Structure 1
Amino acid sequence: MSVVAMLQGTVETDLATIRTALSLARRMNVPLRALCVLPDPNAALMVIATPEAAGLTSVTTQSVFDMQEEVLTNAREAFKQATQGEETVTCEFKHEVNTVERAASDAAALSEAVVFPRSAADGSQPLNVSFEYVLMEAHLPVVLAGTTTDMDGPAIIAWDGSNGAARTVRFHLPLLRAFGDVIIAQNTDDLNKDPQREIAAPEALVEWLVLQGISSRVMEIEGEVSSGLLAMAKGTGASMILAGAYGHSRLAERIFGGTTRRLLRADNAPALALAH
């Protein structure tokens, strides 16, 4: 098992992703694998069998090769900077020729955690399609890098008893065990939505975590949920927020519900672990 950092070939962005992944790898005592995935340029191009198109195809293919080489160079540079002098965990850089969606979903299925840059939640960014595919289509857990690389604080679980929140906790159980210090964040209003659903009470999650060998404490979310979670993270020095991705199909206005969307767009936030 390992922690996988998904790289996009932008040094500054990849540095943040690798550093978050490296911090998690240290906590979990597993190797770090930095993964830069690029498609086969020849397979990505439509070859038109005419004399006129032959030259154009050759030039276009070379342009794609040049672009990919630049992406790889930047990704390798970020990996070198982020892991230089690292002695705690084994670090590996891997370039894979594949579709990013397939490679990322494979990584999410077979690793302790797969870390995307925070910008991957933005539809205009290079890794957005693969991020959405892993989370929404493959239904596998993902982690978005935080805006800070400090990972010494606790993990916060945004708990309302929903299926999304429950899947997030189950999928990211190895992370919770590694953190040890866990805060269950509860908005009291959630308890009044469905009085018959006892699992929404934080005590139910506390008991389940004890069975997994994890101790936790409960804190009330003050005010609106997303801003309350961010304020709690700042006040406790939390390294990560775990939340259910309350999503819909891509035909909806946006795949994420209001709370998740606001957490994703926050300028100053810890790493965010999601499941759908």
Structure 2
Amino acid sequence: MSLKSIIAAASGESADAELLSVVAELAARFGAHVRVAPAFNDPAGNLVFYGAALGQGTPDMLARVNASMHQTLEKLQSLARDVAAQHQLAPSALVVETRALQPRDAVASAAVLADLVAFNGAAARSPALADLFAETLIGMRAPCFIANGGAYAFGATAIAWDGSAQAGRAVRTALPLLQSAARVVVLQNADDGGLDPDAAALDPLNDYLSRQSVMNVTTRVVRGANVAASLLGGAREEQCELLVAGAYGRPRLYELALGGTTRSLVHAENAPHLLLVH
């Protein structure tokens, strides 16, 4: 697994600064090419739709909205240039894509061959991009990096291990990050009622990580009926910058009934960066 092609889904908000800073760190470390995809909705399109539905023409308003959209894109392009310069990247390594007529379709199409699709945490939780994030993670099954903050120094990294296929895919996807981490902590919740003891055995995972040259690995058992809270608590106590986890490893009805570990991780306050794979 390599990290050479990264999509950054830009929200058009101030949170894009944190997102681009993190993906620039990844690009600098792994020689990746980052495509910044403007993923925000087109308010002009909404005005046309609702104006037509109401039988109202709003040419002046459309002009103002279009001007605002162009201004947002120019700010994003300027931000990308500044971030690339700060991280000593060639301008071609961090490129803002031309905004597509249907930005969400463009992100979905680009995700097919992306090693990673990155969202800012606040944006992924927002009504504007929550559906796109969910579709990218679950529908496209693209690995998703949630940037919670603007710094990433490849420090301690946690793995939430339950032995599921999703957790295995997350570990394989995260290998470049795990190999670059200062240390790796494998977290497992002993009170997780859905845990299969045989599948979740730690020795096979530790053997796999060793063969992949992932060094300085320790394991830690956490407790608590709230799986997400216990994992986040363990990651915080270990001062982990990143938590790697499988996403929606159980049937969706089970997740909906119990609240969902994945949903809780994404919506948690003061969470580390997340790498989620379905």
TM-score range relative to shorter protein: 0.7 to 0.9
CA–CA distance in structure 2, aligned partners of residues 143 and 218 of structure 1: 23
Out of 166, 171, 174, the position equivalent to 2:173 is 171
> Displacement, 1:147?
2.9
Quote the residue 1:70 is aligned against: 71
* 1:210 corresponds to 2:213: no
| Alpha carbons of structure 1 residues 252 and 5: separation in structure 2 relative to 1, 3 Å | same
Q: 1:118 Cα shift?
A: 0.4
**Cα pair distance change 1:203/1:72, threshold 3 Å:** same
The amino acid across from 1:131 in the alignment is F
Is residue 5–residue 114 contact of structure 2 (8 Å, CA) maintained in 1?
yes
Residue pairs, 1:143-162, within 5 angstroms: 143-162=145-164
- Residue equivalent to 2:96: 93
1:67-107 C-alpha deviation (Å, 9 max, x unpaired): 42133133234324433332156332323314233222333
| Counterparts of residues 121-270 of structure 1 (less than 5 Å) | 121-124=124-127, 126-179=128-181, 181-190=183-192, 193-195=195-197, 198-215=198-215, 216-223=217-224, 224-246=226-248, 257-270=259-272
Q: 1:172-209 CA distances to partner (integer Å, 9 max, x unpaired)?
A: 334333436322111233598434xx231111211222
Aligned equivalent of 1:32: 34
Q: How many residues align?
A: 268
How far apart, CA to CA, are the structure 1 residues paired with 2:255 and 2:221?
A: 30
What is the alpha-carbon distance in structure 1 between the residues aligned to residue 36 and residue 132 of structure 2? 16
Among 118, 122, 140, the residue aligned to 1:115 = 118
Contact 1:240–1:271 (Cα < 8 Å) also in 2: yes
- CA 256–87 in structure 1, closer or farther in 2 if over 3 Å, else same: farther
Is 2:107 the partner of 1:104?
A: yes
Q: CA deviation at 1:7?
A: 0.8
Q: What is the CA-CA distance between 1:272 and the residue it aligns to?
A: 0.7
Q: Alignment partner of 2:142: what SS?
A: coil
Deviation at 1:213, TM superposition (A): 3.0
Aligned equivalents of 2:94 and 2:107: distance in 1? 18
2:11 is the counterpart of 1:2 = no
Cα separation, 1, equivalents of 2:141 and 2:89: 31
Task: Please say if residues 38 and 99 of structure 1, whose CA atoms lie closer than 8 Å, have aligned partners that are also in contact.
Answer: no
Counterpart CA distance in 1 for 2:111 and 2:160 is 21
Residue 237 of structure 1 aligns to a residue whose secondary structure is coil
- Classify 1:93/1:256 alpha carbon distance in 2 versus 1 (closer, same or farther; 3 Å): farther
- Structure 2-normalised TM-score? 0.79
Instruction: Supply the distance in 2 between the matched residues of 1:205 and 1:230 (Cα, whole angstroms).
Output: 20
Once the two structures are TM-superposed, the CA of residue 138 in structure 1 deviates from its matched residue by 1.3
Q: Deviations over 1:11-70 (max 9, x none)?
A: x20011111212222332323332224678898755999xx96x8264564354234213
The answer to whether the 8 Å contact 1:153/1:236 transfers is: no
Change (3 A) 1:239 1:25: farther
User: Does structure 2 conserve the Cα–Cα contact (< 8 Å) formed by 1:38 and 1:95?
Assistant: no
1:139-162: CA deviation from partner (whole Å, max 9, x where unpaired):
211111123513331221100112
Contact 2:155 2:182 in 1 (8 A): no
- TM-score for both structures, normalised by structure 1: 0.80
Structure 2, unpaired ranges of 5+: none
* Alpha-carbon separation, structure 1, partners of 2:5 and 2:83: 17
| Structure 2 CA distance for aligned equivalents of residues 61 and 248 of structure 1 | 44
CA RMSD of aligned residues (A): 3.4
Of 112-121 and 13-22, more deviation after overlay is shown by 112-121
**Percent identical residues:** 29
CA contact (8 A) 1:34 1:93 kept: yes
- Aligned in 2, Cα 1:152/1:176: closer, same or farther, shift over 3 Å? closer
1:5·1:35 contact (CA, 8 Å) conserved in 2?
yes
Deviates more, 1:208-217 or 1:261-270: 208-217
